[in-house]
Structures are given as structure tokens and as C-alpha cells.
């Protein structure tokens, strides 16, 4: 049973687990001594991804109530099995592996709780800067810098005249360039991992258009943060971004924004 009290209890535990996983990642990052392999989809995999994965899974398995866990590093669970899950943990142990390899600090630990195909709790932890974004339905979205008191964050409900656009540092596409051209004058902020969502959630960017491929573990936690901060995450048909509804774990193209007075999806139409 998922209710507000359960979410309140799980959120600090999930945040602490993300921090512990971040410490595992930084232990490897700071030495610079890590191997890089290629997965079947040619995406990179490092020893830090695996160390974080094991840390998070071990932590979540101890929590009550117990829920199934789907991780980027354990993605072979069949849809026949997944489709039976009403509530489950969705994790990306190291989002932004390319940024980790480039050593620019723009990588995150993502932990989401999905219920009825929607993210209801999310933790996005930035190990390199010790910043944690966390949120759950009914409570709101917060940002904590180190050990400072957590501050409530909100999206910008009125977009700036010159739009501030968050976008991928490592995955820019020609289709995205076409979309941006239709938007008109704007400032583009290239940044790695789920930090793009977080810029929208804390009102530092108006829009994050993802006209390119992602997987569900890339987005679940950060979507919860954005939505609890008053924003929206929709596909380019204008529908909410949902989870665990099909065999493939790939997301459709999507848009993240705070100002819902504009039809951001219309710019994606041919």
C-alpha cells in the first residue's frame, strides 16, 4: 500500500542510499583507476556503475515495505514479470557515465519509486558536488547542498522572454536543433545526466526538450522531482510520460517544462 505516510518514511532512506552509492562512485572517480567496457547497445559501463548498483540494491532490499527493483544494470527482467508490478524501485546507479569518463562532474545517482506507472518519489544525487534533489508526492521537491538545510524548489511558471533551454551535453541531435530553431531566441545550457531536469525543477531553465533516445531509468527519479516542483513531463503528443507500460524500456521523445501556458509540443510537429 502506497500512501503519504509510506512515502514520507521511504524518502529519507532512499536519499541516504543514494548518498552512500555516490560515495562509492567518488571513491573510484577520485583515483581515476577504472575500466570502461561497452554494453550491447554500445553505451559505456564502468566499475563505478556496478559498485553503485550493488550499493543501492543492497540498501533498497532492506527497506519495508519491500518492492521489486529494476536497475539499468539488471535490465533483463521480462515484461511478463514486470507487468505484474504495481509498485517498484527504478534506479540508474550512475546516470551520465560519459560525463563520469570525461571527469566533468555532471553525473548523478537516480532512485525512483514508480506506482501505477507514475514516479511518486525521486532522489537525484550529484556525488561530485554533494547536492541532493529529492521529492515525493504530497510533500514537494527540495534541494540540499551538502549538510545545509534543504530548500524547497519550484519551477518557473512564466517562461523568460529569451528562453533558457537545458539540453544534453553528449547526445545532441539534428532533430533537437530543428526544434530549437522553431523556438526562436534562446540560451542553451548543455549539461549531462538528469541534471537537465533539475535545472527546470529549481527554476533555472524554462524547458528541457529531449528529442532523442533515453531509457526509463534515466528519467524516473528526475521526473518525480520536476512534477513535485510544479512542472510537467510529457511526450511530444502531449501525454504524460509513463513507465512499465510496454516491453521496451525506451522512452518516447519528451518535454520538461514549468510554464504550461505555451504549447511546447507544437514546436515538435513537422
Is pLDDT at 42 greater than 60 in this prediction? Answer: no
What CATH architecture applies to the domain 163-268? 3-Layer(aba) Sandwich (3.40)
User: What's the pLDDT score for residue 168?
Assistant: 84
Residues 197-237: tens digit of each pLDDT: 999 999 999 999 999 999 999 999 999 999 999 999 999 99
Q: What percent of the chain has pLDDT over 70?
A: 95
The CA distances from residue 74 to 19, 53, 80, 89, in Å, are 20, 9, 15, 12
For residue 41, pLDDT beyond 70: no
Cβ pair 258, 155 in contact under 8 A: yes
Q: Which CATH class is domain 4-152?
A: alpha beta
SS3 content of the chain, % helix, strand, coil (to 5): 35, 30, 40
Q: Where in the chain is the domain with CATH 3.40.190.80?
A: 163-268
**Residue recorded with cell 528562453:** 163
d(CA 214, CA 59): 26
Helical H segments across 172-256, by residue range: 174-183, 195-201, 216-228
Place of cell 555516490: 22
Q: 42-47: list long-range contacts, CB under 8 Å, 24+ apart.
A: 43/97, 44/97, 44/98, 44/101, 45/73, 45/97, 46/94, 46/97, 46/100, 46/101
Calculate the CA 230 to chain-centre distance. 16
* 89: exposed, middle or buried (Cβ count in 10 Å: 0-12, 13-18, 19+): buried
Q: What burial class does residue 94 get, using C-beta atoms within 10 Å of its C-beta: 0-12 exposed, 13-18 middle, 19+ buried?
A: buried
Place 252 in a pLDDT band, splitting at 50, 70 and 90. very high
Q: Is pLDDT of 270 > 70?
A: no
How much is the pLDDT for 36?
72
CATH 3.30.540.10 residue window(s) in the chain: 4-152
pLDDT in tens, 118-152: 999 999 999 999 999 999 999 999 999 999 999 99
> 10-19, pLDDT tens digit by residue?
999 999 999 9
Enter the pTM of the model: 0.95
Task: Tell me whether residue 37 is exposed, middle or buried, using C-beta atoms within 10 angstroms of its C-beta: 0 to 12, 13 to 18, 19 or more.
Answer: exposed
Q: Comparing C-alpha atoms, which of 147, 143, 132, 113 is closest to residue 8?
A: 113
Grid cell at residue 51: 559498485
Q: Pick from 78, 80, 17, 83: which is nearest to 52 by CA?
A: 17
Amino acid at each position: 500500500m502506497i500512501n503519504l505516510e509510506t512515502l514520507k518514511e521511504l524518502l529519507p532512506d532512499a536519499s541516504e542510499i543514494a548518498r552512500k552509492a555516490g560515495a562509492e562512485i567518488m571513491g573510484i572517480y577520485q583515483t581515476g583507476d577504472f575500466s570502461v567496457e561497452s554494453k550491447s547497445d554500445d553505451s559505456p559501463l564502468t566499475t563505478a556503475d556496478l559498485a553503485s548498483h550493488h550499493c543501492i540494491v543492497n540498501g533498497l532490499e532492506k527497506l519495508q515495505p519491500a518492492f521489486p527493483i529494476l536497475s539499468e544494470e539488471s535490465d533483463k527482467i521480462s515484461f511478463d514479470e514486470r507487468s505484474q508490478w504495481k509498485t517498484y524501485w527504478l534506479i540508474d546507479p550512475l546516470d551520465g557515465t560519459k560525463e563520469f569518463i570525461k571527469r566533468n562532474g555532471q553525473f548523478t545517482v537516480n532512485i525512483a519509486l514508480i506506482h501505477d506507472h507514475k514516479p511518486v518519489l525521486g532522489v537525484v544525487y550529484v556525488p561530485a558536488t554533494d547536492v541532493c534533489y529529492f521529492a515525493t508526492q504530497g510533500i514537494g521537491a527540495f534541494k540540499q547542498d551538502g549538510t545545509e538545510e534543504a530548500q524547497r524548489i519550484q519551477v518557473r511558471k512564466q517562461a523568460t522572454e529569451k528562453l533558457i533551454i537545458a539540453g544534453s551535453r553528449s547526445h545532441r541531435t539534428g532533430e533537437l536543433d530543428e526544434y530549437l530553431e522553431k523556438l526562436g531566441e534562446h540560451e542553451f545550457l548543455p549539461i549531462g545526466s538528469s541534471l537537465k531536469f533539475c535545472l527546470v525543477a529549481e527554476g533555472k531553465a524554462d524547458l528541457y526538450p529531449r528529442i532523442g533516445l533515453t531509457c526509463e531509468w534515466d528519467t524516473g527519479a528526475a521526473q518525480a522531482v520536476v512534477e513535485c516542483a510544479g512542472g510537467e513531463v510529457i511526450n511530444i503528443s502531449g501525454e504524460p510520460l509513463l513507465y512499465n507500460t510496454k516491453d521496451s524500456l525506451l522512452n518516447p521523445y519528451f518535454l520538461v517544462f514549468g510554464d504550461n501556458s505555451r504549447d511546447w509540443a507544437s514546436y515538435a510537429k513537422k
